[in-house]
Structure 1
Amino acid sequence: MKVAVTYDQGEIFQHFGRTAYFKLFTIEDKTIQSSEVVDTAGNGHGALADFLKQLGVDTVICGNIGPGAQETLNKADIRFFGGVTGSVDQAVEDFLAGDLKYNPDVCCRDHDHTHEAGHSCGSADGGHCHD
């Protein structure tokens, strides 16, 4: 199994589509075998699913993630756990122990912009995503 976590100075970066780095963990028998930080090389939003698939990633842990990125991860058969905060390393340990606290209804919140997927975030209705 290979797990990718959005990464910023040891913490989970809170906007999947804009992360500059992922920390990748290679896991065998629920044990971390290796880890490395990789640069996304400017890939963002929907392009990240292909980038991660090429690296052999099958699981993503992240902060906020919009529906367009969720859809591209689903299509790439990469499962994701969004709405996670805190230490990257601790999140992976919690994931392996079955104790990861995540939000199954996560969406991109707390910022104002429009995605190429055709929805906007941070609008007047409290930051809920729109298709």
Structure 2
Amino acid sequence: MKVAVTYENEQVFQHFGQTSQFKIYEVKDGTVSSSEVVSTGGKGHGSLAGFLKDAGVDTVICGGIGGGAKAALAELDIQVLPGVSGAVDEQVERLLAGNLEYDPTIQCSHHGEGHKCHD
């Protein structure tokens, strides 16, 4: 299993389509075996789904995410767990323990400066 988390300063970045980095975790036998921070190389919104698929990711943890990105990830069989905030390592540990708090109804539909998709 590979889990990608939108990443900025060790925290879950709050807008999937604008993230410049993901922290990607390799999970084996229910525990993290390795992790690395990777740059998106300037890719954004729609192209991020292909970027993650090419990296072998099957689960994404993020803050806000738009409907188009959700659909693109679903089409590639990548599970999306939106509405998450806090330290990335802690959120992945919660996922593996079965107690990650997320909100599948989160959907960002605006792209103005300074917006928040959720609190």
Gaps of 5+ in 2: none
* Secondary structure of residue in 1 paired with 2:50: helix
Contact 1:64 1:109 in 2 (8 A): no
Tell me the equivalent position of 1:83: 83
AA partner of residue 78 (structure 1): I
Aligned residues between the structures: 115
Tell me the equivalent position of 2:66: 66
Contact 1:5 1:88 in 2 (8 A): yes
Gaps of 5+ in 1: 114-121
TM-score by length of structure 1 reads 0.84
* Secondary structure of residue in 1 paired with 2:94: helix
Task: Return the offset for 1:112.
Answer: 2.4
Task: Return the offset for 1:107.
Answer: 1.0
Contact 2:67 2:109 in 1 (8 A): no
Larger Rg: 1
Task: Return the offset for 1:108.
Answer: 1.4
TM-score by length of structure 2 reads 0.92
Tell me the equivalent position of 1:116: none
AA partner of residue 101 (structure 1): E
Pairing 1:29-108 to 2, within 5 Å after superposition: 29-108=29-108
Pairing 1:108-119 to 2, within 5 Å after superposition: 108=108, 112=112
Contact 1:2 1:56 in 2 (8 A): yes
Equivalent pairs: percent with the same residue? 54
AA partner of residue 72 (structure 2): T
How many Å separate the matches in 2 of 1:109 and 1:85?
19
Rate the CA distance shift 1:110–1:10 in 2: closer, same or farther, 3 A: farther
* Secondary structure of residue in 1 paired with 2:35: strand
- Runs of 4 or more, structure 1, over 2 Å off, are 109-113
Rate the CA distance shift 1:45–1:111 in 2: closer, same or farther, 3 A: closer
